[in-house]
Structure 1
Amino acid sequence: MRSNNPVLTSLPGARGQSGYGYQGGYQGGQLGSVQSGVASSAGFERPMTVDDVVLKTGVTLGVIVLAAAANFGIALSGNYGLAMMLTLVGAIGGFITVLVHSFGRKFGSRAVTLTYAVFEGLFVGGFSLAVTGWTVGGADAGALVFQAILGSLGVFLGMLFVYKTGAIRVTPRFNRVLTGAIFGVAILALGNLLLAVFSPLNPLRDGGMLSIIFGVVCIVLAALSFLQDFDLADRLVRTGAPEKMAWGVALGLAVTVVWLYTEILRLLSIANRD
């Protein structure tokens, strides 16, 4: 089974590799059953646990928050131009880091995950400043950021509850539909970006009704993506994947959290302007 999350597609077996190196394997894109046996020539690797996923995801999100706070501080100290430059660097750097992880041969690199966290934190900090109008006297800017964080946490916990109760089952059909929907949204976003660059039009991000609908769709898709990410993490744990793979799961969850946060914050800022 594979996730539509781009950073969760470089798992062993997704490209015909022979397994985890600890026990069991990931063959033909499917998580194989755990097989007791001999550790690989690389040596014994402790199997991943739920605690590993929680800890590494927490560390990754913590680094994002720290980097965002640093960019906040730079802007509020009067260096708004530098903060916006770091925001652009963060956006590009985060995108490149995800590509490196997605097309790399190894899943679960701590260095790649933490590098992504730093870049994405810079982006999130600058994005929050720009969208809320914090530096131009936005009295409600802090409240908007807090509400977006609270909303993201609520969606995360809500989808975890949905997954645990089995209210929505992650099936091959679910994966295909969700992947197609996200692919479609990505094409629309790219088309809108090109339109905004080469014309005065920006229909998906101008605060109009179409922009609001697009934002709601993105929030729903991000929420559903959590189900796939939870399912993949659950299967990796149950099949005895190496502990280091928890870093890959943490990266995937962080990508979804950031996507969700930015869309919620953008919609809140539109509502606040109205």
Structure 2
Amino acid sequence: MALFESGNPALSEKKFSSTVIPDVLHVDEATTMTVKGSLQKFGFLLLLVLGTSFYSWKQFAEGGAIQGMLLTGLIGGIIAAIVIIFKQEWSPYLAPVYALMQGLFLGAISAMFNAAFAEKAPNIVFNAIGLTLAVAVAMYLLFSFRIIKATEKFKSIIIAATVGIGVFYLIVMVVRMFGVDMPFLHEGSAMGIGFSLIVTAVAALNLILDFDMIEKGSELGAPKYMEWYGAFGLLVTIIWLYMEILKLLAKINRR
């Protein structure tokens, strides 16, 4: 049975176990991964996201073209993420690049949502940010106090749900190329809102698995650069959670 797993592909058992220092009794915090170090680096990456998000948001507000930033952020973020997943030792250099790219994308897409719901829900973006932070803190506290435990059964359920959602989104992308759309993914119907609630819940519960992975990596003496890798993986989940909450609020306000 796996010692630790995560539904987040960036935080998989193989990624961490392949870097673990065997003699965990003689490791040094200066050279090995710690939970504190991972959270500090996550905070730094989050600041980078906010910085470039503000820039692309400001460009949109001033009437500038943001299509370039939207595509640059999306494609650049995907490329950086793929490289990091296969080259964890590069994460101290590429995790900040990923954060900067995703910031450009998030700022642009958030500005578009803000403009689209300026009359119905003028604070939709800030509400999504607040809810994302609140959920993240709540999940961390639930994990820290072991109110929710990352048991093998819990991991299996969340991983299966995450993979299922990923496959479903992939199918949606493929059929859309042939002109077939699924309206409930965008409409404020009961089915659409229910679907978003389920996906948002799964994204939130993935944070439990991510926290568990970072904690286990620290306990097993993973090398110092894995702090950046753990922070990157956590950021991936936070961004997913934010986007799902933003889409959920948009559906609610379309009713």
TM-score for both structures, normalised by structure 1: 0.83
1:253 is the counterpart of 2:234: yes
Distance in 2 (CA, whole Å) between partners of 1:90 and 1:202 is: 26
Distance in 2 (CA, whole Å) between partners of 1:68 and 1:269 is: 19
Alignment of 1:140-179 (within 5 A): 143-179=123-159
State the match for 2:167 in structure 1: 187
The amino acid across from 1:234 in the alignment is E
State the match for 1:54 in structure 2: 39
Distance in 1 (CA, whole Å) between partners of 2:121 and 2:168 is: 29
The amino acid across from 1:71 in the alignment is S
Distance in 2 (CA, whole Å) between partners of 1:60 and 1:243 is: 16
Between 1 and 2, higher relative CO (CA 8 Å, sep ≥ 6) is seen in 2
Cα drift, residue 53 of structure 1: 1.7
Distance in 1 (CA, whole Å) between partners of 2:159 and 2:117 is: 40
What runs of 5+ residues in structure 1 fail to find an aligned partner? Answer: 25-33
* SS class of match (2:26): coil
Cα drift, residue 227 of structure 1: 0.5
Asked if 2 retains the 8 angstrom alpha-carbon contact of 1:128 and 1:145, the reply is yes
Off by >3 Å, runs of 4+ in structure 1: 139-142
State the match for 1:96 in structure 2: 79
State the match for 1:84 in structure 2: 67
Cα drift, residue 213 of structure 1: 2.2
What runs of 5+ residues in structure 2 fail to find an aligned partner? Answer: none
State the match for 1:232 in structure 2: 213
State the match for 1:112 in structure 2: 94
Count of matched residue positions in the alignment of Structure 1 and Structure 2: 250
Asked if 1 retains the 8 angstrom alpha-carbon contact of 2:20 and 2:220, the reply is no
TM-score for both structures, normalised by structure 2: 0.88
Change in 2 beyond 3 A, CA 1:225/1:120: same
The amino acid across from 1:102 in the alignment is I
Bigger Rg over Cα:
1
State the match for 1:2 in structure 2: 5
Deviation per residue, 1:4-55 (Å, 9 max, x gap)? 2111236243xxx4x434x54xxxxxxxxx2327x9xxxx952333331221
Cα drift, residue 139 of structure 1: 4.0
Cα drift, residue 252 of structure 1: 0.8
Deviation per residue, 1:128-149 (Å, 9 max, x gap)? 12223x2x68146651111111
Cα drift, residue 238 of structure 1: 2.5
Change in 2 beyond 3 A, CA 1:251/1:245: same
Distance in 1 (CA, whole Å) between partners of 2:226 and 2:86 is: 16
Q: Percent identity?
A: 29
Change in 2 beyond 3 A, CA 1:66/1:226: same
Deviation per residue, 1:51-95 (Å, 9 max, x gap)? 31221001101111111111111111211xx31231122122222
Deviation per residue, 1:223-272 (Å, 9 max, x gap)? 11010111111122223333321111111111111111111111112222
The amino acid across from 1:223 in the alignment is A
Asked if 2 retains the 8 angstrom alpha-carbon contact of 1:74 and 1:83, the reply is yes
Higher fraction of helix: 2
